[in-house]
């Protein structure tokens, strides 16, 4: 694979959403300059580090995604600093897709100009709902009117390639309010929509409240799971009718507006994550898959980058990457593989000079990833590609699982393709679980 995707995490938010369990937080703004400084040092050493772990980086970057967090909170000077380093150490393709995640009302004009100056050509807004009561309940700071005004502003500034995120299953959401949010999103004319089902996690305030039957964050006003699933199915149907067909479990787009960056995740193409809790997948020259991630704590992240610098200067203590042992389960990330995944791999044990482990996936793990990442997309899996890539002995145990899932209405087989049915997309974790159990 001769191109690379880059993900840059800016994990600073103005307020922490009640459902959020990401490493991002409303850190004191005074910590942002130090974070940018650490990030730029990581960027400067990224190529050396990838070579050191056996996966030299492809030269050409075809997609760049600035997420987090709320990277639209950067100042124009900080945007300049980050892009200067990125462009010093990577070659951005002239037609690279460069996406910025933004919170409505948190993208100052000079910052927008700086991002545009450096080639940002796609903006993704975390709207979540066009009902103010629902966004307020989850701790978002914007109103529906502000979202619409923001879309007008960035379009006038010359960025037509826009994406909106919506969440099904928010506190106070009803079928009527969900249809209003969907119709409002369609009416904006944006070419790309992401629709997520709210997942409660005990690491979020809303999740903890749901477990303890509290009332402060609206847990008592959550729709039932069945209602939330119904909202998701309504979205699939409504967006299809509106000419914004689904192309992945959570993503819908006009033809030609698919997220090229996210497709790299689902197609298992190499990407490098930079910044707090950023995940990476690289390929070695002999075709092995390496997965690794950065620490999810600001202080440990800074320590890790300092160690890597020492290592690249040849001052590390001991010889890293010498001992192999079984890996633990992979950690999760909003854009990483689903949490149900257990990576089968060998792991480079961290040493003082290399804090984060690097997992080298086994052939079985590569097969599992190929299955569940491929099935996330509406294109699904190609049986011919599977047969070309994996030995028959590895594929044989899957045949009865596929047949059973087909009988249960979760999978569909047409010619060369295996895809999830609409019902299967709703129960995708069940399908993935059956495949992994095989």
Contacts with ligand SF4 by CB under 6 A lie at: 13, 16-17, 20, 22, 24, 68-70, 103, 126
Query: Which residue lies nearer to ligand SF4 by CB, 8 or 282?
Result: 8
Supply the DSSP string of 322-372, one letter for each residue.
--EEE--PPP--TTSS-TT----EEEE--BTTB-S-EEEE-HHHHHHHHHH
Task: Single out the residue of 229, 250, 242 nearest to residue 178, CA to CA.
Answer: 229
| Contact between residue 111 and residue 79 where contact means Cβ atoms under 8 Å apart | yes
Query: Which residue lies nearer to ligand SF4 by CB, 68 or 374?
Result: 68
Number of Cβ atoms within 10 Å of the Cβ of 419: 17
Query: Which residue lies nearer to ligand SF4 by CB, 103 or 375?
Result: 103
Question: C-beta of 68: minimal distance to ligand SF4 in Å?
Answer: 6
Query: Which residue lies nearer to ligand SF4 by CB, 24 or 184?
Result: 24
Number of Cβ atoms within 10 Å of the Cβ of 126: 23
Question: C-beta of 242: minimal distance to ligand SF4 in Å?
Answer: 26
Question: C-beta of 262: minimal distance to ligand SF4 in Å?
Answer: 16
| Contact between residue 8 and residue 272 where contact means Cβ atoms under 8 Å apart | no
Query: Which residue lies nearer to ligand SF4 by CB, 68 or 320?
Result: 68
Question: C-beta of 16: minimal distance to ligand SF4 in Å?
Answer: 5
**Structural element, H or E, at residue 272:** strand 271-274
| Contact between residue 37 and residue 302 where contact means Cβ atoms under 8 Å apart | no
Query: Which residue lies nearer to ligand SF4 by CB, 24 or 250?
Result: 24
Whose tokens are 């298992």? That residue is 268
Question: C-beta of 22: minimal distance to ligand SF4 in Å?
Answer: 5
- Cα 172 to Cα 222: distance, rounded to the nearest angstrom: 6
Cα dihedral sign, 295-296-300-303? positive
Question: C-beta of 171: minimal distance to ligand SF4 in Å?
Answer: 15
Question: C-beta of 55: minimal distance to ligand SF4 in Å?
Answer: 28
343-348 contacts at long range (C-beta below 8 A, 24 or more positions apart): 343/291, 344/368, 345/291, 348/53, 348/320, 348/321, 348/323, 348/324
Q: Please name the residue ranges forming H helices in 268-382.
A: 298-312, 363-376
Backbone phi, psi, residue 245, to 5°: -70, 155
Chain centroid to Cα 193, Å, comes to 14
Question: C-beta of 169: minimal distance to ligand SF4 in Å?
Answer: 14
Q: How far is CA 48 from CA 55, 82, 139, 268, 297, in A?
A: 10, 18, 41, 22, 23
And the tokens for 68?
């987090």
Query: Which residue lies nearer to ligand SF4 by CB, 5 or 69?
Result: 69
Query: Which residue lies nearer to ligand SF4 by CB, 56 or 339?
Result: 339
Query: Which residue lies nearer to ligand SF4 by CB, 124 or 345?
Result: 124
Question: C-beta of 21: minimal distance to ligand SF4 in Å?
Answer: 8
């Amino acid at each position: 694979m001769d191109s690379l995707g880059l993900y840059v995490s800016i994990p600073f938010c103005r307020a922490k959403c009640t459902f959020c369990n990401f490493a991002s937080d409303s850190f004191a703004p005074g910590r942002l300059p130090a974070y940018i400084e650490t990030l730029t040092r990581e960027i400067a050493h990224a190529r050396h580090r990838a070579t050191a772990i056996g996966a030299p980086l492809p030269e050409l970057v075809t997609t760049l995604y600035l997420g987090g967090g709320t990277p639209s909170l950067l100042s124009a000077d900080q945007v300049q600093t980050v892009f200067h380093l990125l462009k010093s150490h990577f070659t951005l393709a002239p037609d690279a897709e460069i996406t910025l995640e933004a919170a409505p009302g948190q993208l100052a004009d000079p910052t927008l100009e700086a991002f545009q100056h450096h080639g940002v050509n796609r903006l993704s807004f975390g709207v979540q709902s066009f009902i103010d009561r629902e966004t307020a309940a989850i701790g978002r700071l914007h109103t529906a009117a502000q979202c619409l005004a923001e879309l007008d502003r960035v379009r006038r500034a010359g960025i037509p390639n826009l994406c909106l995120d919506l969440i099904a299953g928010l506190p106070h959401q009803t079928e009527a309010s969900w249809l209003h949010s969907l119709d409002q999103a369609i009416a904006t004319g944006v070419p790309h929509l992401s629709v997520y089902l709210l997942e409660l996690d005990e690491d979020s305030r809303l999740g903890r409240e749901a477990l303890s039957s509290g009332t402060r964050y609206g847990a008592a006003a959550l729709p039932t799971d069945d209602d939330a699933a119904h909202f998701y199915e309504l979205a699939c149907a409504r967006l299809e009718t509106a000419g914004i067909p689904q192309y992945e479990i959570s993503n819908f787009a006009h033809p030609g507006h698919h997220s090229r960056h996210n497709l790299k995740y689902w197609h298992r193409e190499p990407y490098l994550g930079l910044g707090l809790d950023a995940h990476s997948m690289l390929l070695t020259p002999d075709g092995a898959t390496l997965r690794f991630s950065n620490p999810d704590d600001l202080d440990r992240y800074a320590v890790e980058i300092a160690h890597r610098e020492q290592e690249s200067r040849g001052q590390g203590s001991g010889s890293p990457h010498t001992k192999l042992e079984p890996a633990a389960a992979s950690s999760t990330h909003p854009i990483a593989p689903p949490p149900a995944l257990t990576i089968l791999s060998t792991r480079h044990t961290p040493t003082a000079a290399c804090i984060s482990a690097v997992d080298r996936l086994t052939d079985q793990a590569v097969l599992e990833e190929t299955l569940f990442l491929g099935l996330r997309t509406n294109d699904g899996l190609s049986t011919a590609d599977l047969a070309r890539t994996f030995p028959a002995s590895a594929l044989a145990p899957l045949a009865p699982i596929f047949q059973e899932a087909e009988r249960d209405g979760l999978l569909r087989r047409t010619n060369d393709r295996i895809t999830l049915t609409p019902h299967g997309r709703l129960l995708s974790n069940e399908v993935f679980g059956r495949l992994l159990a095989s």
